[in-house]
Amino acid sequence: MSLILANATRRTYILLVLKKPPKPLRDFHVGDRVKVNPHRGRTVDAVIKAVTTDQKGRVRLQVEFGKDKTAFVYNWQVCD
pLDDT confidence band for 21 (50 / 70 / 90): low
pLDDT confidence band for 47 (50 / 70 / 90): very high
Query: Is 75 strand, coil or helix?
Result: helix
pLDDT confidence band for 20 (50 / 70 / 90): low
Domains of the chain, CATH where assigned: 24-80 (2.30.30.140)
Indicate whether 72 pLDDT > 80: yes
Question: How confident is the model over 29-44, as a mean pLDDT?
Answer: 87
pTM of the model: 0.63
Q: Exposure pattern of 13-32 as b/e (b: 16+ CB <10 Å)?
A: eeeeeeeeeeeeeeebeeee
